[in-house]
Each structure stands twice: as structure tokens, then as C-alpha cells.
Structure 1
Amino acid sequence: MPQLNGITTLEATLELVTGLRIGAGDSEMHIGGVDNTVIKHPHTQSPYIPGSSLKGKMRSLLEWRSGAVQQEALGWRDYQAATGVQKAEVKRILQLFGISGGDKAGLEEMLELGPTRVSFWDCNLQPDWEQQIREDNLALTEVKSENRINRISGVAEHPRQTERVPAGACFDFRLSVKQLAGDGEELLTTVLQGLKLLELDSVGGSGSRGYGKVRFKGLRINGQDSQASFDAIQPFAR
């Protein structure tokens, strides 16, 4: 197996451009309560963005960009079936995000791909931002009323209350990328392209209705300011 030569760390402020909803998976309905609540820290009740949500959405967008997307996450067989430029792109996705547990990996696969390179952290609210909101007696979340319009009668039906983290909220974002012997800069480039795709698309639920638009500010790679380089990223350039 190749040697681990280093770990690259990316840090930034993740700012919400529009309200964000990542559901808490409520198992109970409360009369007069909010229908759809957001995920919160169980002790502080502060909303956060799970690293798994960012990782899953970024991988999905990169798989769609590759043109090899399937119903399930790409695996070893998809890599074997790909050709040309697409094969190289699928390989980078598998190197970064790994293969599923159901995709049995033998010695050949592990030697070809190596271990999963990228690790996402949960994004907590920036302490200074959260403290200011609490000192101003403002809420950390908002409740948005929604309904469905009957196309014939024009009457609003099926009202529901949806909780969101409001636009302007700032989170601490961090991920790390393992560097193995033989890895090139293209893996880090793919990560940056994936982050840019997140900015162009959305995070969380109801993205098609304007939820979950985000931007990354003050991006640092291993502590060095890299925002200008990130702003110049063209995610669809080959």
C-alpha cells in the first residue's frame, strides 16, 4: 500500500445566502408545533450542518458532472466500465470518497484506489456569530409557512410550518484530504471544484425552491489564504 505523506486541511466560513433546511428526522407530531424541524446539537440546541450532508451532496454533484452517475454511488465496476477522460474522473471520485461497503474490494482494488482521502467535519455555528445573535435576543432559526396552491380554484391548501436556519448564518467549515505517495494535485483540484459546485447548487432540502444556497469565504489551505484561487475555479473546465 502507498505511504501516507501528509494531510491537507481546508478551512473556511460557510455563509448561508438563503435559508437552510437539514431535517432532524422527527418521529413525533406535536399539535400546534413545527411540522419539519432542523437538526440541532442535543445539548445546546444550536443548529449545525452535518459533514455527511456536505459530503453526500458534493459527491453526488461530482458524479453527475462525470456523466457516469448511477442510482447508487459509483463503485469499482463503474470505474472498470468507464473509458477515457471519464475513467480518470471516476477514479478521482472513488479515491476521494471511497467505495460502499457492498462493493467488495479486493487487493487489486485497494492497490489501485487506496483508502478514502477526504474527511468532512460537522459545521458548527461560528461562536462569535452565535454569541452576537443570542446577545441581540434573536432566534437561531426561523419558521417559514408553506402551502400548496390548487391550480383550478387558486386556493391555498395543506399549510405546513417549516423550520430553517436563516440567511446570513455563518458556520465553521473544515475538511481534510489525505496525501498518499503517487497522488497528484488533481485530487485537491477536484475537491475545490466540488466546493464550487456546492455554491452553484444547494445544500440540504428544497434547493429547487431557493433553500440552501451557500458560499465559502476566507478559504485557507493549510493555513494559507487561498480564496482568490478558489474564486477562479471553473468546475466544468476539463
Structure 2
Amino acid sequence: MKLREIKELKGKIIIKTGLHIGAGNDEINIGGIDNPVVKDPITGYPYIPGSSLKGKVRTLLEWYKGYVNQDGSPYSTKDSNNPIARIFGNGKNESEYKGGPTRVSFSDCRLLNAKELIEKDALTESKVEVSIDRTKGTASKAGPRHMERVPAGAVFEFYLTYKVFDEHDEKNFELLLQGLKLLEMDALGGSGSRGYGKIKFEFDDEEIAKKFQEIKF
């Protein structure tokens, strides 16, 4: 096995609707945020973890290619030619899997227009959600939830690298682009079924941007 090339994919992620990637909260204060977004501990700015991108793109591609169990859960494989395992890695059956290292590496995405959002007092937003008792048609006794979101209009840096060892990897790069397209069509982060997390990719490379635009399902 010999490394032939490392492809770079650079660009931006434009947030179209409020994005929530949770950070967890062990202490909830009265009148505070129940579900904060993940933030950089140094700057305090929200960011998009590379793990969130990788996990969602992998899941969408597994559903698209049918690489799931009957209950919808992903399955592990020993097949070294399985494209999903080659691209994203195969955590299970490591001792028996001969497909080599993970091909794609997603970087964390830093916020690019923080100054603009701060000037608008819109670095993040708080969205109040009320659960409805569908039997009674009234608000749930659980009370409202305060969800912190990155607002629409936020722009994040996007960067990934992709290792090419053979012709299979070269072909599978197209599949990775399809996964990013599926993510753009679906949603990133939590509460996607309630309208959260719609994003748009903008790529620096014009050829990649054109190829991405032409992807149809």
C-alpha cells in the first residue's frame, strides 16, 4: 500500500436555518439555556466539530447505499472494498479488516464572521420551544425548553483531506461528494425534522463546485 495523493477540499458552510450542535449542560440555571451549543473554550465562539460532519455524512451515505441492518442501524464489515469503511474507517473488526487507514479527515469548522454577528448581538440565539400534548392539544406540563442555536447567516470555514492509495479511493471520492450533497439536502445537528440545521456548501475550487452542483439523486 502506497500513498499516491492527499486531496484537499476547502470552502465555507453557510448556515441557512438555526443550527444546534449540543455541548451538554450539567447545570441548568433558572431562566438560562437548557441546551447550549458547543463553543471554543478560548474564544467562546460556536464552532462545528469535524466529528459531527463526519458522523452525519457517513450515516446519510450508509442509508443511501443500503449499508444498514434491518432496524436501520449501521453494520460493521470485514470487506476491505466496502466504500463506506474505506472512506470513514472501520472501528469494529479492526483485527480482521484489511482496508487500511481512514481516508477522510474532517477538521473542526471555525466561525468566520464572528465580528459581524457580535455587532448585531447575534453570536447565538435562544429559541423557546413548547412541547404539545397531542391528545389534549395543549402545552405539555414539562414546560418550555430554551434551545441555543447558531443563527442563520453564520459562516464557517470548511476543510477536509482525503487520502488516495489506489483507483478505488479515486472513485470513492465522488461518493464522498455525494455524501456532502446529501447533508446539504438534509440537516446538520439536532432537531433537523423541526427545521434546524439547513446548510449550504461553497467550495473554493470551481471544478469541485460545478461537480457538486450537478449531483442529482
TM-score (norm 2): 0.91
- 2:152 is equivalent to residue 151 of structure 1: no
Structure 1 window deviating more from structure 2 (166-175 vs 61-70): it is: 61-70
Aligned: 1:30 with 2:29: yes
Q: Verify: 1:220 aligned to 2:210, yes or no.
A: no
Partner of 2:11: 12
- Structure 2 counterpart of 1:49: 48
Mapped to 1, the partners of 2:125 and 2:25 lie a distance apart of 17
The answer for the alignment partner of 1:141 in structure 2 is 124
Give the deviation of 1:143 after TM superposition. Answer: 0.2
Q: Following the alignment from structure 1 to structure 2, what is the Cα–Cα distance between the partners of residues 146 and 22?
A: 16
Number of positions where the alignment pairs a residue of Structure 1 with one of Structure 2: 213
Q: Counterparts of 2:204 and 2:3 in 1: how far apart (Å)?
A: 22
Question: Of Structure 1 and Structure 2, which has the larger fraction of its residues in helix?
Answer: 1
Which residue in the other structure is 1:205 paired with?
190
CA contact (8 A) 1:74 1:99 kept: no
Name stretches of at least 5 consecutive residues in structure 2 with no aligned partner: none
CA distance in 2, matches of 1:40, 1:201: 23
What's the TM-score once normalised by structure 1's chain length?
0.83
The residue identity in structure 1 corresponding to 2:189 is: G
Preserved CA contact (<8 Å) 2:60 2:179: yes
1:153 Cα deviation after fit: 4.1
Q: Distance in 2 between matches of 1:98 and 1:38?
A: 27
Aligned CA RMSD, in angstroms, stands at: 1.8
User: Which sections of structure 1, spanning at least 5 residues, go unmatched?
Assistant: 81-87
Contact 1:74/1:94, CA 8 A, preserved across alignment: no
AA of the residue aligned to 1:105? S
Alpha-carbon deviations, 1:144-196, whole Å to 9, x = none?
01001233543323211110001111000111100113445321101100000
Structure with greater strand percent? 1
Output aligned runs, 1:177-216, within 5 Å: 177-216=162-201
Distance 1:21 1:184 in 2: 33
Amino acid at match of 2:212: F
For residues 29 and 18 of structure 2, what CA distance do their matches in structure 1 show? 23
Matched, 1:232 2:217: no
**In percent, how many aligned pairs have the same letter?**
46
Change in CA separation of 1:133 and 1:99 when aligned onto 2, cut-off 3 Å: same
Q: What secondary structure is seen at the aligned counterpart in 2 of 1:212?
A: coil
Deviation at 1:116, TM superposition (A): 0.8
Match of 1:99 among 75, 85, 90: 90
Query: In structure 2, do the counterparts of structure 1 residues 33 and 189 end up closer, same or farther at CA, with 3 Å as the change threshold?
Result: same
